[in-house]
Amino acid sequence: MTSAAACKPTDPWLAYSVTMDQVTPETPGVATYDLIFTDNEVAARYTFLPGQFNMLYLPGVGEIAISISGDPTNGDRLPHTIRVAGNVTRMLAGLAEGASLGLRGPFGSSWPLAGNTGKDVILIAGGIGLAPLRPVIYALLANRHLYGQLTLLYGSRTPEGLLYPGEYDNWRTRGLDVQTTVDRTTDGWNGNVGVVTSLLERMALPRSEETVLFTCGPEVMMWYTVQSARECGIPDENLYVSLERNMNCAVGLCGHCQFGPEFLCKDGPIFGYDRVASILKVDDL
């Protein structure tokens, strides 16, 4: 859960120079941008933990907080899966391979893998929320023998919105049970229809006390996911959510990302449910 700012620069405002190496269209309005550091020394020093994010910088346009969605053992190439939602992301989507931009990071807390070896792990993602969880999948599968049952429950609006479908079979082969569901169907979909919490409720949990659950998606989805998980007997201290707020400086100095007493840029974005349960219920906090 601690942030691994392994290559913290002395100036928290200064961005590294990166190049856009590859752009992979994912779903309508969503693409993955692989970024590479121009400075090899920075590339060598940079590491991140699953769940952490970078501030991507387009000079003249602005910065945007994006979770790193790649393999944490590969610090050279940093994929970021981004949905167009505003000015910066719209400009980003217009950049071509080879484009130059800035990057500050990594920031934030991470999904707690180290302390949960031996447990069954359930990942519940909604929409673009699979992007910050993909590094967890890579880390879990790279150390498969250290964990019990591994399950991914993933919901999207439509089948076209499901991220990384080309990887599901590979994940299944390596020991991750992947189940998907959609809110509404299109022709040719023969999978689940309905909310992702229903998939959780259908699961037999052989040892709920030894199960940890990580969830990332819209706040309402995460809330009901957590409540279902609690009803299934997963202890509060085994539940983790990833929250979002306006992010401006990402270094705890500007005040924008506060959620109650928490700074999402340094205390979060990943929180144990027990830590934030009381403030999650408060409207407009």
Partner 1 sequence: MEKVTEFPEFLPASELQSLLDVLMNAGYQTVGPTVDQGAIVYDEIDSVDKLPRGWTDRQEAGKYRLEQRDDDAYFGYVVGPHSWKQFLFPPLATVATAERHDTGWHMRTPDDDPPRYAFLGVRACEIAAMRVQDRVFMGGSYIDPIYKKRRDSAFIVAVNCTQAASTCFCSSMNSGPRCESGFDLALTEIADGFIMEVGSDAGGEILKKLPTTSSTRERLHQAESARQQALDQITKTLDTEGLRDLLLDNLDHPQWDDLATRCLSCTNCTMVCPTCFCSTVTEVSDLTGDHVERRRQWDSCFNIDFSYMNGGVVRNGVRSRYRQWLTHKLASWEDQFGSSGCVGCGRCITWCPVEIDLTQEVAVIRRSTTNTNPPNTNTGAAQ
Partner 2 sequence: MAAQNQTALQLIRQTGFLNDLSDEELAKIADISEIQQQDAGTVLFQEGTVCVSLFIVVTGSVALDMHVPRRGQIRILTVGAGEILGWSALWGSQRMTAMGTILDTSTLVTIPGQRLQELCDADREIGYRVMQRMAVALSRRLLAARLQLLDLFSETQPA
Peptide bond just before 50 cis, omega within 30 deg: no
Binding partner of 220, given partner 2, partner 1, none, CB within 5-8 angstroms per partner class: partner 2
- Determine the straight-line distance between the first and last CA of the chain, rounded to whole angstroms: 23
CA distance 39 to 21: 14
- Is residue 41 a contact point for partner 1 (CB under 8 A)? no
CA distance 154 to 126: 6
- Least distance (Å) from partner 2 to the CB of residue 176? 19
**Chain residues 81-140 in contact with partner 2, contact rule CB under 8 A:** 83, 85-87, 126-127
Look-up: residue for tokens 């229809």? 193
- Is 109 or 225 the residue whose CB approaches partner 2 more closely? 225
Strands 120-126 and 211-216: parallel
- Is residue 202 a contact point for partner 2 (CB under 8 A)? yes
Among 109, 149, 197, 208, binds partner 2 (CB under 8 A): 197
Binding partner of 62, given partner 1, partner 2, none, CB within 5-8 angstroms per partner class: partner 1
Among 2, 220, 278, 283, binds partner 2 (CB under 8 A): 220
- How many residues bind partner 1 (CB under 8 A)? The answer is 44
Binding partner of 189, given partner 1, partner 2, none, CB within 5-8 angstroms per partner class: partner 2
Closest by CA position to 139, among listed 36, 239, 6, 50: 50
CA distance 35 to 23: 9
- Is residue 59 a contact point for partner 2 (CB under 8 A)? no
Choose the stretch contacting partner 1; rule: CB under 8 A; options: 6-14, 194-202, 209-217, 269-277: 6-14
Among 63, 113, 195, 213, binds partner 1 (CB under 8 A): 63
How far are the Cα atoms of 84, 159, 250, 262 from residue 245, in angstroms, in the given order? Answer: 17, 28, 11, 11
- Is residue 165 a contact point for partner 1 (CB under 8 A)? no
HEC sequence for 159-190: HHHCCCHHHHHHHHHCCCEEEEEECCCCCCCC
Q: Residue type for 169, please?
A: D
- Is residue 19 a contact point for partner 1 (CB under 8 A)? yes
Binding partner of 198, given partner 1, partner 2, none, CB within 5-8 angstroms per partner class: partner 2
How far are the Cα atoms of 21, 23, 157, 217 from residue 93, in angstroms, in the given order? Answer: 13, 9, 22, 22
Peptide bond just before 269 cis, omega within 30 deg: yes
Binding partner of 150, given partner 1, partner 2, none, CB within 5-8 angstroms per partner class: none
- Is residue 159 a contact point for partner 2 (CB under 8 A)? no
- Is residue 221 a contact point for partner 2 (CB under 8 A)? yes
CA distance 113 to 236: 16
Choose the stretch contacting partner 1; rule: CB under 8 A; options: 27-35, 56-64, 109-117, 199-207: 56-64
Applying CB under 8 A, which residues contact partner 2? 29, 83, 85-87, 126-127, 155-157, 161, 181, 183-185, 189-195, 197-199, 201-202, 204, 217-218, 220-221, 224
